[in-house]
């Protein structure tokens, strides 16, 4: 894997590769980290997909180091992003927030706060469609609509993309790379996206703590009251276990 934190971000969005996209496989694939783990508690599927698709600057897991990358998906706001940001500030941890265009337009103060406090804003597309099921032209529009809005309204250049619902193809990964983006998946996620169907903080905290592994890319949803409640304790637990948090760049 390339260095996840040492690149010059000013160069990230300059396209450095070109593909014959129409010739690449566009078979839709879904992503979930699976349940089979190696002896370091790393998802075997994450390691396999990293090996297969890393050439497109797609990331399913980080390097074999005691490092954790926190990421949040933001499709709509229901009041939990502020306490999440409060905790991250208190613990001095930076995260990536993957946002749709509607979220960015409706929550400018939160977006500005994320930027001001050193977090990264990731591109989660305009309308959140299934990328392998739409045209090459529509995909570019989905990404560029968000990219240009962030540049024009926040003077911020996006470099990270998360595929809606984790659905991708070889073709979509190549196109995203062509557009100057890295595609960031995850090596751990759990069922936290429905605010009306939460497992409770007493179960969620040990669940995500027990998933710790080297190079972990955590996907959490900012609409989860459980995540807002347990985040500080999770950060403490991870640090006590010898892990450090880094911003994925």
The pLDDT of residue 1 is above 70: no
Report d(CA 223, CA 40) in Å as an integer: 30
User: 122-142: string of b/e by CB count within 10 Å (b at 16+)?
Assistant: bbbbbebeebbeeeeeebeeb
Q: Which of 39, 73, 124, 192 is catalytic?
A: 73
Report d(CA 115, CA 131) in Å as an integer: 27
Could you read off the pLDDT of 204-229 as tens digits, one per residue? 999 999 999 999 999 999 999 999 99
Could you read off the pLDDT of 32-79 as tens digits, one per residue? 999 999 999 999 999 999 999 999 999 999 999 999 999 999 989 999
Q: What is residue 240's predicted lDDT score, i.e. its pLDDT?
A: 98
Could you read off the pLDDT of 152-175 as tens digits, one per residue? 999 999 999 999 999 999 999 999
Q: Identify whether 38 is a catalytic site residue.
A: no
Q: What share of the chain has pLDDT > 90, as a percent? A: 92
Task: Specify the length of the chain in residues.
Answer: 249
Average pLDDT of the segment spanning 129-145: 98
At 13, is the pLDDT very low, low, confident or very high (cuts 50, 70, 90)? low
Q: What is residue 17's predicted lDDT score, i.e. its pLDDT?
A: 86
Q: What is residue 6's predicted lDDT score, i.e. its pLDDT?
A: 36
Average pLDDT of the segment spanning 142-161: 98
The pLDDT of residue 10 is above 80: no
Q: What are phi and psi of 107, to 5 degrees?
A: -130, 55
Could you read off the pLDDT of 90-114 as tens digits, one per residue? 999 999 999 999 999 999 999 999 9
pTM of the model: 0.92
Q: Identify whether 147 is a catalytic site residue.
A: no
Helix intervals (H) in 54-185: 81-91, 101-106, 108-116, 136-154, 170-178
Average pLDDT of the segment spanning 1-19: 52
Report d(CA 187, CA 73) in Å as an integer: 14
Q: What is residue 14's predicted lDDT score, i.e. its pLDDT?
A: 56
Q: Which of 102, 221, 226, 233 is catalytic?
A: 221
Average pLDDT of the segment spanning 14-22: 82
């Amino acid at each position: 894997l390339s260095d996840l934190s040492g690149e010059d971000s000013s160069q990230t969005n300059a396209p450095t590769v070109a593909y014959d996209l129409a010739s690449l496989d566009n078979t839709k694939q879904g992503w979930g980290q699976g349940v089979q783990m190696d002896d370091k508690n790393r998802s075997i599927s994450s390691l396999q997909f990293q090996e297969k698709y890393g050439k497109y600057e797609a990331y399913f897991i980080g390097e074999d180091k005691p490092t954790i990358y926190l990421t949040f998906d933001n499709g709509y706001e229901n009041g939990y992003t502020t306490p999440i940001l409060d905790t991250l500030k208190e613990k001095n941890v930076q995260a990536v927030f993957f946002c749709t265009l509607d979220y960015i337009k409706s929550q400018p103060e939160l977006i500005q706060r994320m930027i001001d406090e050193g977090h990264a804003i990731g591109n989660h597309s305009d309308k959140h469609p299934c990328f392998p099921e739409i045209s090459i032209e529509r995909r570019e529009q989905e990404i560029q609509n968000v990219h240009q809005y962030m540049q024009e309204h926040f003077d911020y250049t996006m470099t990270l993309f998360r595929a809606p619902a984790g659905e991708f193809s070889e073709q979509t990964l190549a196109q995203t790379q062509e557009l100057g983006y890295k595609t960031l998946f995850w090596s751990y996620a759990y069922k936290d996206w429905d605010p009306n169907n939460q497992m409770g903080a007493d179960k969620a905290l040990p669940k995500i703590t027990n998933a710790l592994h080297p190079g972990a890319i955590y996907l959490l949803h900012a609409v989860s009251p459980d995540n807002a409640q347990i985040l500080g304790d999770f950060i403490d637990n991870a640090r006590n276990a010898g892990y450090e948090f880094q911003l994925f760049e």
